[in-house]
Structure 1
Amino acid sequence: MSQKSSPPTTKDVPPKVLHRAIGASAIGNAVEWFDYGVYAYLTTHIAASLFPEGSNGVFYTLVGFAISFLIRPIGGLFWGPLGDRIGRKRVLAMTILLMASSTLVVGLIPSYETIGIWAPIMLYACRMLQGFSAGGEYGGAATFMAEYAPDKKRGFYGSFLEVGTLVGFTMGNLIALLLVNVLDADSMESWGWRLPFFVAAPLGLIGMYLRSRMEDTPVFRELEQKEATKDQVSGVFKDLLTRYTRSILTLFGLVIALNVVNYTLLSYMPTYLQTTLDMEESDALLVPLFGQIAMLVTLPFFGILSDRIGRRPMWLGSCAALVVAVIPMYLLIGTSLTGAIIGFAVLGMLYAPQLATISATFPAMFPTIVRFAGVAIGYNVATSLFGGTASAVNEAIIGATGNNLVPAFYMLGACLIGIVSAYFLIETKGLSLRGTEVPGTPESIEEQKKLATQTP
């Protein structure tokens, strides 16, 4: 084995390197959620352009949204073990390129009038490619950021991954709001809705450049030097189902709560306001804007709080508060534009403690040898079944029952699952992510004592 210089621990990472790692992780998340945000906010225009008139195109466009999530577990199965084998940064450079490319192509699809059935087929194909790449993007970015962040500040630095999420959403919101106020309906339907999708290309290139210039995480390089990555990763699927069952099931439940709220509140809200509450499009796009900006600003503060009191109290408190508030706030949303803005903002702020602590919570549930795979697979399976389908499920049930509170009931049920899952969450605030054991377990504590006596 050739001699290599010892990788630094997270305590030794220079601030400039740490900040570049944070930026490289966050920009990919911004690209991913910019795409989802634009797609969600311009659903009615995409439907009018790419589906035949009178075909319930809004629902079928939302099906396209759901399809990308149904493919995400396949991406997680592919990218996750690969990231544990060859490194985080290589996989993240590939996923952001695929993601940006598929987003760009959506804006280039000819209308249904031009190419007929091939228009929705191409849309669904692009959404599948986007979902495949996203299957490695989110778990990889969270792992990359968590493994670079100092142990005592993992909540603070990890929150910036979700700052990227909301920056992407907010950018999509602002561009969509600008377009619908500047262009008439015919222009929006024919070419205006396409413009935001072209923005993904330069964002993706910037993200790929930043990621390609980064070294892999100190935690991964330490394990790689011990030649543990090839042999131990080979049994990843068996291990995830046997040795790390508690981690997988806990993660699964937390993600159900997280993403049912996320996609029902952030993605589906503009469509819900237009199709169910008959709100004007410009007003429907305005409603999420203030709440998203408030969440964006406060995420780092919730991250700092999680470094002080722990991740478990943040999740329990957020889910419990949403259970209490979600029905009253949806009733308020149905009263007026002002009521909708206030109701959305309240729900958004109650949800923010979950969002802020994802990167500090999920990667710490697995050891380094299966961390990328564990987060990518567990996160994406739950998201595909309960998160990405939320918009289409809500729309279908509202159509069948006529009950405008369906999204509130859906979110309430998901948060009850989140409370149960958070109860079983192992607290990992301040703990190292080094080693081959699950952080916070007795085995990991013993391993950390041994690692602390070794010279880096």
Structure 2
Amino acid sequence: MRAEDCIVVDRKELRKAQLGAGVGNFIEWYDIGIYGYLAVTMTSVFTEGMDESLGLLVTLLGFAVSFIVRPLGGMILGPLGDKIGRQKVLFFTMALMAGATTLIGLLPSAGQVGLWIIIPLYLLKMLQGFSTGGEFSGASTYVAEFSPDSRRGFWTALLNAGSMLGFAFGAAVVALTSAAVTSAWGEGAMLAGGWRIPFLLALPLGIVAIVMRSRIPESPSFEAAQEHGESESELDPIFVRHDLKNIFRHYWPQILIGCALIAADGTSQYMLTSYMPTYLETQLGAPAAHTAVAAVTVLLLQVVLIPLVATWSDKIGRRPMYRIATIGNLVLLLPAFWLMQQGTLASLYLALFLVALPSAFFLAMTGAVMSELFPTASRYGGVGVTHNLAISIFGGTTPLVGQLLVQLTGNPYAPAYYIMFFSVLALIAVAMMRETAQRPLLGSVPVVSSRAEAERLAGGQDEDDRIDTSTMLLGEEPKVGASSI
């Protein structure tokens, strides 16, 4: 490897890429979050006339339905992103999400047209899910390929920090909308139409994101891989752009490891962001205003923690941070749910903090580690399949499963046990994964911050166990068997 083989990051282009990917991710999760924060209101709007408990399950099923199609989005949009580029697919996902969310805000209520309105609601949630299937996997792949290897954890973690800002913004918009319309038009104002405002706000926000994404550059690692004609049969599999079948064939160990990590991450995070407001309102009788304010406070705390944890992982490694996250869930969740039962405002805030802390450690790792599991030629497809399968089966169904477990068992701690089970699986996966911090992405040359750093890497590559030239496309194309995953 020569110094000239390294990719030196253009700082201006990196900032542009991060902002373009991040603002879309922010809006994407605002769109998802407002449905969770309005779940109780949406139950009255779209299931009027049903038993209240059944109606809530129907509403939460709408949240789960969007996650059922996420793997389909990942399976189609991921390989497409490996073929035509990350930027083009990210542009499409943002336009689709903004359109679907806006249309939800225009739907008539069940009181106006009947319960059949649940069908178009579910269809629009499915469009959201399809879009999301290509969103985070594409954004994390894109930013990871743009980031210097030494700070990849930090730069990719900003995406999840943006996601939490999106959730927090969604909660704040719901709270402010509720306060404003109730003050102006009375207690029934949210049910009468105030609930539409957060959904309709997705249109101007989406237009801003679409314009920004139309101007971001393509990932330099993707462009470099495209120049090498990686579809030729004599290349090692990691340099070949695989279809869905061969992604499973070549990378099933990484898929299993990734699914275990995302299952723990997703159940933990969606419990906090999408089910906890419903749990606190329906099981404990907490006022909606209190749960919204508490959620915003805790999510903002996560926004601060995520980049700090990610920076720490760039220094000491991803595996130690995952151990902290999994053990944190095993130790803190039961005390957190006990605190929720105490019924005081202080105990509510402390409980949410205990749930949010290990979740922040998971979120700090997700973008970097998912991208580090797969090689450049098939990264978008690999991340799309892995992330969306796990988040759909386990994360997105968390609100529904959590509510079902409470109703079936009568045990208010049941959701905590559910999350803890997946944390145990993640702990096993961490023991099986390789360390990836400060190493070049598989199938790519090192990405560095300066020419001087490139020269240092090239000069010390023989003694640096982080450098494996057999996983890089250099001057000569590697032959079959030159490397192993």
Give your verdict on TM over 0.5.
Answer: yes
Deviates more, 1:445-454 or 1:331-340: 445-454
Report deviation, 1:443.
10
- Whether 1:237 aligns to 2:261 is no
Q: Distance in 2 between matches of 1:122 and 1:450?
A: 51
Q: Distance in 2 between matches of 1:453 and 1:399?
A: 59
Matches within 5 A, 1:245-284: 245-284=252-291
Task: Give the partner amino acid of 1:136.
Answer: G
Alignment: residue pair count? 446
Deviations 1:264-287 (A, max 9, x none): 112110000001111111112122
Matches within 5 A, 1:14-413: 14-55=10-51, 56-184=54-182, 185-228=187-230, 235-335=242-342, 336-413=344-421
8 A Cα contact 1:10 1:151, kept in partner = no
Q: 1:68 to 1:121 in 2, by over 3 A?
A: same
Q: 1:451 to 1:47 in 2, by over 3 A?
A: farther
Q: 1:12 aligns with which of 8, 12, 19?
A: 8
Alignment RMSD = 2.4
Report deviation, 1:434.
5.5
8 A Cα contact 1:219 1:433, kept in partner = no
Report deviation, 1:180.
2.6
Q: Distance in 2 between matches of 1:300 and 1:229?
A: 37
Q: 1:367 to 1:443 in 2, by over 3 A?
A: farther
Q: 2:470 aligns with which of 438, 441, 446?
A: 446
8 A Cα contact 1:10 1:218, kept in partner = no
Q: 1:427 to 1:121 in 2, by over 3 A?
A: same
Q: 1:427 aligns with which of 432, 435, 444?
A: 435
Aligned to 2:460: none
8 A Cα contact 2:306 2:364, kept in partner = yes
TM-score, normalised to structure 2's length?
0.87
8 A Cα contact 2:109 2:117, kept in partner = yes
Report deviation, 1:110.
0.6
Unaligned ranges ≥5, structure 2: 234-238, 448-463, 479-485
Deviations 1:193-238 (A, max 9, x none): 1101112112222222222212210000001111226987664323
Report deviation, 1:14.
1.8
Task: Indicate the SS of the match to 1:300.
Answer: helix
Deviations 1:311-342 (A, max 9, x none): 11111111111111110111012212210111
Deviates more, 1:270-279 or 1:351-360: 351-360
Q: Distance in 2 between matches of 1:233 and 1:192?
A: 51
Q: Distance in 2 between matches of 1:114 and 1:441?
A: 66
8 A Cα contact 1:85 1:229, kept in partner = no
Q: Distance in 2 between matches of 1:161 and 1:53?
A: 41
Whichever of the two has the greater Rg, that structure is 2
Unaligned ranges ≥5, structure 1: 1-7
